[in-house]
């Protein structure tokens, strides 16, 4: 990846690896097996942009986000945020960085504490990080945050069970904003919401990005939403980066056969368009990350695989300016 | 009731009402809904959570959880017989044999302590009177049909040994095992990845065609409906708000809710928009529905009458129906309507006002 101005980069992930040992080691176990959730992933995010990270369940997109948040310790690799490698920081230093990197979770039902009011949930992060030390000022700030995410001030005393799904996700967003972060990891922020509410939340995220110059890593499986919100898009498959490029290039000219299949699988809400469409339906299923295939991890399902694909693991190489693909046939 | 004139439809749901008693009052989950499915066709029930689409399917199968829930009225005519009048013994012969169901969560709807084979052969033995050997042969046959390789070995395995996509194939195999006339598929692919979703839906379509089975597909995904359904019923707050062929619904939506849903989703085949065009407000609280049209509080086109009187489902041209007082003017008015970029969730009453004054 060529990065014209290095200081423009807010986050760089280099060769990120996260392996989870499973089973084994016990009385009857052999050597522990390893789930290669993330297996050598690299990308950078520029300040103020949205990088979409897409892929199917088990591809490692959520684990990548969790490693950036240091909710998981990477097995190896570097997570460089504003010039500092987070993997080398002490717990005290991590706490300071956490303020600048926040997260919005998928499920607004399980990610809010059911025994705290909306006001308490927004107050706490500001108190913990000492952002607004004075209690009265914090109360004022909570009201501001509610207004920013489109909630009425009267919501302050409500508990999560009194809120709809869309309202809860707004609270989750307000909580992320409370620490004045520069980077927000959005982990499937709309996929648990009703269709009619999803667009509201997507618009809100876009407006907030403009207003506060936020940077997003937008982790999602819905390719239509990702196209709408992202400046660049990264596609993962079985722990590896398959393709990474500008939004326009990825959707107009996907180079990786997996990206092509993924795009063709998305149904378009128009029966006439659907009737005319040529589709590639992928055979088979995503193999287990416990025992990924040798060579290119996609070769068993790939419609254009050749013998060479079974041998060497393809590099995610730059084939055009700013367009990286892990496919020897691209 | 059995002497009622048959409409010719395979399944004819008439004025169905299903209620649940909750702490907050009586919820009319399905509130006087009529629709039908003809032999061999694919019909969709579309709507968001709580609109009554799944409860409709459970009502047909006689699986509404008692005592909180009950079918409070209407008829469910299947091949001319009212399922609501049938004794449980007769219903049991229809369920799984003539009407099969595919659920959203294959893991929770399969029995974890029975082998996969047993879950298929059980139905064949009970419904079709197969011997053990016949049932086993049938099980292998249907597993092959749904594309599960190595069927003989797979029969001896348990559901946890199957992946998500394979489990959903298994659910479809069980549903097909007794060659039903109607398959009720409740969000059959929602829990699956897109590439697997495409496989499963193509499989269902192909199999229902070769078996001649009709399919009722229940989903919130407008893309899935566009790809697979012949006719579409759009539900909101327990009622059908629009019905038509897939082409009518998508090319010429005549209910503001349908229009709003179609406008709010980004599409891969259209240029990227600056902002999405959401439906304002929140889904309704079913214990406190407004007097008039349930969608009126969120509707950009609502007029005075909408708040006073619930609109009936009526024709806007041939078989295309809409339950909206402004359905006739909707195409012109929606062309004029502003493209809001709202992200606020509080209902901007000013927008509703503008709708009135125009």
**Which 3 state secondary structure label does DSSP give A1?**
coil
Query: What structural domains and CATH numbers belong to chain A?
Result: 6-100+181-325 (3.40.50.300)
Find chain A residues with C-beta within 8 A of B225's C-beta. 269
Predicted local confidence at residue A6, as pLDDT: 52
Extract the tokens encoding A141. Answer: 């700030």
Q: Which residue of A has its CA nearest to B273?
A: A228
pLDDT at B347: 43
In residues, how long is chain A? 330
pLDDT in tens, B34-77: 999 999 999 999 998 889 999 999 999 999 988 899 999 999 99
Question: Does the residue B314 lie in any domain?
Answer: yes
Nearest to B188 by CA among B180, A264, A268, B196: B196
Does residue B286 lie within any of the structural domains?
Answer: yes
Residue of B nearest to A205 (CA): B343
Distance (Å, rounded) from C-alpha B213 to C-alpha B198? Answer: 20
Average pLDDT value for residue range B87-94? 94
Average confidence score pLDDT of chain B: 88
Q: Which residues of A touch B235 (CB under 8 A)?
A: none
* Mean pLDDT, rounded, for B208-219: 90
Asked if residue B201 lies in contact with residue B228, where contact means CB atoms within 8 angstroms, the answer is: yes
Of B164, B198, B247, the CB nearest to A272: B247
Q: What is the mean pLDDT of the segment spanning B315-323?
A: 95
Report strand pairing: B214-219 vs B99-102: unpaired
> Does A238 lie at the interface with B, CB-CB under 8 angstroms?
no
* Closest chain A C-alpha to B173 CA, distance in angstroms: 17
Q: Do A269 and B265 touch (CB under 8 A)?
A: yes
Dist. CA A292–CA B329, nearest whole Å = 57
Residues 205 to 244 of B: which have CB under 8 A from any A CB? 220-227
- Residues of B in Cβ contact (< 8 Å) with A224: 265-268
CA B179 distance to own-chain centroid: 21
CA–CA dist A15, A46 (Å, integer): 18
Residue tagged 């974890």 (tokens): B112
B247 vs A contacts (CB less than 8 Å)? 271-272
Residue B327 falls inside a structural domain: yes
| Domain presence at residue B121 | no
- Residue tagged 């097909």 (tokens): B176
DSSP 8-state code for residue B95:
B
**Residue of chain A nearest B51, judged by CA positions:** A194
Q: How far apart are CA B62 and CA B185, in angstroms?
A: 15
Rounded Cα gap, residues B339 and B351, in angstroms: 11
Q: Taking CB atoms and an 8 Å cutoff, what residues of chain B touch A150?
A: 343-346
Residue B129 counted as domain residue: no
- B348: domain range? 277-357
Q: Using CA atoms, how far apart are residues B53 and B45, in angstroms rounded to an integer?
A: 6
Q: Mind listing the pLDDT tens digit for each residue in B107-151? A: 788 999 999 999 999 999 999 999 999 999 999 999 988 888 888
Q: What is the pLDDT of residue B80?
A: 93
Three-state DSSP class for residue B138 = helix
CA distance B309 to A67: 55
Please judge whether A203 and B341 are an interchain contact, meaning their C-beta atoms are less than 8 angstroms apart. yes
* Interface pTM, i.e. ipTM: 0.84
Q: A199 and B341: CB-CB below 8 Å?
A: no
CA neighbours closer than 13 Å in the CB half-sphere of residue B159: 20
Query: What does the pLDDT read at residue A30?
Result: 67
**Spatial separation of the C-alpha atoms in residues A74 and A19, rounded to whole Å:** 8
**Please, what is the angle between helix B164-176 and helix B194-211, to 10°?**
10
For chain B, give the percent of residues with pLDDT over 70. Answer: 92
Which tens digits make up the pLDDT trace of B149-173?
A: 888 999 999 999 888 888 888 999 9
Per-residue pLDDT of chain A (330 residues; tens, 9 = 90+): 444 455 589 999 999 999 998 866 556 666 778 899 999 999 999 999 999 999 988 899 999 999 999 999 999 999 999 999 999 999 999 988 989 999 999 888 889 999 999 999 999 999 999 999 999 999 999 999 999 999 999 899 999 999 988 999 999 999 999 999 999 999 999 988 888 899 999 999 999 999 999 999 999 988 999 999 999 999 999 999 999 999 999 999 999 999 999 999 898 999 999 888 888 878 877 888 888 899 999 999 999 999 999 999 999 999 999 999 999 998
Give the integer Cα–Cα distance in Å for A322 and A244: 8
Residue B133: CB atoms within 10 Å: 9
What is the three-class DSSP state of A172? helix
Could you give the number of structural domains in chain B?
1
Number of Cβ within 10 Å of residue A143's Cβ equals: 17
The reported pLDDT for the residue numbered B211 is 83
- Report the Cα B50 to chain-centroid distance in Å: 12
- Does the residue B113 lie in any domain? no
Closest of B282, B315, B106, B340 to residue A193, by C-alpha: B282
3-class secondary-structure state, position A154: helix
- Main-chain dihedrals φ then ψ at residue B243, nearest 5 degrees: -140, 140
- Whether B161 contacts chain A with CB within 8 A: no
pLDDT over threshold 50, residue B357: no
Q: Is B333 part of a structural domain of the chain?
A: yes
- A16: exposed, middle or buried (Cβ count in 10 Å: 0-12, 13-18, 19+): buried
Strand partners, A324: A244, A318
pLDDT higher than threshold 80 for residue B342:
no
Per-residue pLDDT, B348: 39
CA distance A330 to chain B (A): 21
Residues of chain B positioned with their CB less than 8 A from the CB of A164: 282-283
In a domain, B137, yes or no: no
Measured between beta carbons, the chain B residues lying within 8 angstroms of A262 are 194-195
Q: Rounded CA gap, A82 and A73, in Å? A: 19
């Amino acid at each position: 990846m060529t990065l014209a101005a290095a200081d423009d980069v807010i986050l760089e992930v280099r060769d990120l690896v996260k392996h989870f040992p499973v089973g084994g080691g016990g009385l009857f176990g052999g050597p522990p097996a390893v789930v290669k959730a993330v297996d050598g992933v690299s990308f950078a995010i520029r300040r103020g942009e949205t990088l979409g990270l897409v892929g199917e369940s088990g591809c490692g997109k959520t684990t990548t986000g969790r490693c950036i948040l240091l909710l998981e310790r990477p097995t190896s690799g570097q997570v460089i945020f504003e010039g500092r490698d987070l993997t080398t920081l002490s717990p005290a230093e991590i706490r300071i960085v956490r303020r600048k990197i926040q997260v919005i979770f998928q499920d607004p039902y399980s990610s809010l504490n059911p025994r705290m009011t909306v006001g308490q949930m927004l107050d706490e992060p500001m108190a913990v990080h000492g952002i607004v030390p004075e209690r009265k000022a914090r109360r004022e700030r909570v009201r501001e945050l509610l207004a920013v995410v489109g909630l009425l001030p009267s919501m302050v005393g409500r508990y999560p069970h009194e809120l709809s799904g869309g309202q809860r996700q707004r609270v989750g967003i307000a909580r992320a904003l409370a620490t004045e972060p520069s980077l927000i990891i959005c982990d499937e922020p709309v996929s648990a919401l009703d269709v009619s509410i999803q667009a509201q939340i997507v618009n809100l995220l876009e407006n907030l990005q403009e207003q506060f110059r936020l940077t997003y890593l937008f982790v999602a499986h819905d390719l239509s939403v990702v196209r709408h919100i992202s400046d660049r898009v990264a596609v993962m498959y079985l722990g590896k980066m398959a393709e990474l490029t500008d939004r326009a290039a990825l959707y107009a000219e996907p180079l990786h056969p997996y990206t092509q299949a993924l795009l063709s699988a998305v149904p378009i809400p128009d029966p006439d368009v659907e009737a005319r469409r040529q589709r590639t339906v992928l055979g088979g299923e995503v193999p287990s990350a416990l025992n990924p295939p040798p060579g290119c991890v996609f070769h068993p399902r790939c419609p254009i695989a050749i013998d060479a694909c079974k041998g060497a693991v393809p590099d995610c190489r730059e084939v055009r300016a700013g367009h990286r693909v892990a496919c020897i046939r691209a | 009731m059995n002497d009622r004139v048959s409409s010719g439809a395979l399944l004819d749901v008439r004025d169905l009402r299903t209620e649940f008693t909750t702490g907050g009052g009586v919820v009319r989950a399905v509130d006087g809904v009529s629709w039908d499915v003809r032999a061999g066709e694919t019909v969709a029930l579309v709507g968001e959570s709580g609109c009554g689409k799944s409860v409709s399917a459970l009502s047909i199968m006689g699986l509404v959880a008692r005592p909180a829930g009950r079918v409070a009225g209407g008829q469910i005519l299947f091949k001319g017989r009212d399922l609501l009048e049938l004794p449980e013994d007769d219903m049991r012969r229809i369920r799984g044999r003539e009407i099969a169901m595919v659920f959203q969560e294959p893991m929770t709807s399969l029995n974890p302590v029975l082998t996969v084979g047993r879950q298929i052969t059980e139905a064949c033995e009970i419904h079709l009177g197969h011997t053990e050997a016949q049932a086993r042969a049938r099980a292998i046959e249907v597993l092959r049909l749904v594309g599960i390789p190595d069927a003989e070995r797979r029969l001896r395995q348990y559901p946890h040994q199957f992946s998500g996509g394979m489990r959903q194939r298994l659910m479809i195999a069980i549903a097909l095992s007794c060659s039903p006339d109607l398959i009720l598929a409740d969000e059959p692919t929602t829990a699956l990845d897109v590439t697997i979703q495409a496989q499963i839906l193509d499989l269902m379509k192909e199999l229902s065609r070769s078996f001649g089975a009709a399919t009722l597909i229940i989903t919130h995904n407008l893309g899935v409906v566009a790809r697979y359904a012949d006719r579409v019923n759009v539900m909101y707050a327990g009622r059908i708000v629009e019905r038509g062929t897939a082409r009518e619904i998508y090319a010429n939506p005549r209910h503001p809710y349908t229009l709003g849903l179609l406008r709010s989703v980004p599409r891969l085949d259209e240029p990227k928009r600056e902002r999405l065009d959401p439906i304002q407000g929140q889904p309704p609280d079913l214990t406190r529905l407004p007097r008039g049209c349930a969608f009126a509080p969120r509707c950009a086109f609502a007029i005075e009458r909408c708040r006073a009187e619930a609109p009936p489902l009526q024709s806007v041209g041939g078989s295309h129906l809409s339950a909206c007082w402004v359905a006739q003017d909707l195409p012109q008015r929606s062309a004029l309507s502003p493209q809001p970029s709202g992200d606020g969730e509080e209902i901007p009453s000013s927008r509703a006002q503008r709708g009135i004054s125009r």
